[in-house]
Amino acid sequence: MPTQDYLEYVPCNVCGADQYTVVHHSNYSNETAQDLKDKFKSSGDETLIDQVVKCKHCGLIYINPRIKADLIIQGYSEGSDEAFVSQAAGRERTFERCLDFLEKYVSKRGKILDIGAANGSFLSVAKKRGWHVSGVEPNAWLCQWAKKHYDVDIKPTTLFEQKYPDSSFDVVTLWDVLEHVPDPTLVLKECNRILKKDGVLIINYPDIGSWIAKLLQRKWVFLLSVHLYYFTPATIRNILNKTGFSVAGQKPHFQSLELGYLMFRMKAYSKLLHTLGYSTTRVLRVDKFQIPYWLGQTLVVAKKK
């Protein structure tokens, strides 16, 4: 079981309150402290074992207690992630659609920064469309993959270590990132600082208030130990307002992935569906077929006030 040397209690990241109700209880019975730390070394597909709470004041849902912030960053910087990069083609297709949506809110294709850029699929698509691209990603292996496969340079570091000047970018993006960071408010304030006047921020997140999350309850696929925060439209709007942004638009976020990969990822939720589905897709030779899927993901466009 994790020790207090690895865990920390945190107040609400939106309103600062320290009063909450428990939404899901923890289950660390078969986990060591090192096991918990190691969960952050991959793209993260292990089901939730941590205590999830809901702030009594503003309604933010988050993990508390959680593994300490410095260990989270260390975990993300280590190891490789072959499973994640195997889906590069689907992610490129997803980001083409995302850029179509994003470009409705900008007057020109200027400078864009992707935070938590992973293997660089988004930056590669943006670069081909004429954007001037930059990215930060703590995992050096993913940065190297981006350089080799996309010829995209991503800094193997964090947003704060890079120390960008004020008003450096026209657009900042956080694809599947905000729910992972130890301090979303601090990250969003930094995004505001480095955005130009009237700059645009793009966030996608799994909405725990969506009908499918409510239907699936504990079986919702985005209840993961690596997701430290669980936003709803109300709490995402609150945290954006607090950090100097106003919501300009939002829509359901559909992602394209291979059918076989989706069946592979089902292992953590249903071994029967995983076994039958994964085998069947391979026998029928449809495992590489790209399909769009939605399980509560939401895309938000916000503008700097």
- pLDDT score of 267 more than 70: no
The mean per-residue pLDDT over the stretch 232-255 comes to 97
Q: How far is CA 103 from CA 107, 132, 159, 264, 302, in A?
A: 8, 14, 24, 34, 13
pLDDT band at residue 86, thresholds of 50, 70 and 90? confident
**What pLDDT digit, counting tens, does each position of 133-149 carry?**
999 999 999 999 999 99
- pLDDT score of 259 more than 90: no
Residue 142: exposed, middle, or buried by beta-carbon count in 10 A (0-12, 13-18, 19+)?
buried
- pLDDT score of 1 more than 60: no
**pLDDT top residue among 274 and 184:** 184
pLDDT band at residue 76, thresholds of 50, 70 and 90? confident
Residue 3: per-residue pLDDT: 58
**What pLDDT digit, counting tens, does each position of 194-221 carry?**
999 999 999 999 999 999 999 989 889 8
Least confident of 7-11, 24-28, 152-156, 270-274: 270-274
Quick check: pTM over 0.85?
yes
Judge whether 21 and 60 are in contact, CB under 8 Å: no
Determine the Cα–Cα distance for residues 228 and 181; give it in Å rounded to an integer.
7
- Number of neighbours of residue 243 by Cβ within 10 angstroms: 22
**pLDDT top residue among 79 and 8:** 8
pLDDT band at residue 45, thresholds of 50, 70 and 90? low
The DSSP secondary-structure symbol of 254 reads: -
- Number of neighbours of residue 236 by Cβ within 10 angstroms: 24
Domain ranges (residues) in the chain: 7-77, 82-257+295-304
Determine the Cα–Cα distance for residues 288 and 271; give it in Å rounded to an integer.
21
Mean of the per-residue pLDDT values of the chain: 89
**What pLDDT digit, counting tens, does each position of 221-243 carry?**
899 889 999 999 999 999 999 99
Determine the Cα–Cα distance for residues 213 and 219; give it in Å rounded to an integer.
8
- Number of neighbours of residue 25 by Cβ within 10 angstroms: 9
Residue 169: per-residue pLDDT: 98
- pLDDT score of 4 more than 60: yes
**What pLDDT digit, counting tens, does each position of 49-70 carry?**
899 999 999 999 999 999 888 8
Query: Which amino acid is present at 85?
Result: V
For residue 78, give the nearest of 156, 22, 14 by alpha carbon: 156
The mean per-residue pLDDT over the stretch 248-276 comes to 76
Residue 270: per-residue pLDDT: 64
**What pLDDT digit, counting tens, does each position of 28-42 carry?**
776 666 666 666 765
What percent of the chain has pLDDT above 90? 67
Residue 70: exposed, middle, or buried by beta-carbon count in 10 A (0-12, 13-18, 19+)?
exposed
Residue 74: per-residue pLDDT: 82
Helices 88-102 and 121-128, axial angle in degrees (round to 10): 50
Half-sphere exposure of residue 66, counting CA atoms within 13 Å on the CB side?
A: 27
The mean per-residue pLDDT over the stretch 97-111 comes to 95
| Contacts with 216 (C-beta within 8 Å, 6 or more apart), sequence order | none
The token pair at 226 is 């690596």
Determine the Cα–Cα distance for residues 239 and 186; give it in Å rounded to an integer.
10
- pLDDT score of 100 more than 70: yes
Residue 159: per-residue pLDDT: 97
- pLDDT score of 191 more than 60: yes
Residue 83: per-residue pLDDT: 82
Domain at 82-257+295-304: CATH code: 3.40.50.150
In angstroms and rounded to an integer, the radius of gyration of the C-alpha atoms of the chain is 19
What percent of the chain has pLDDT above 70? 86
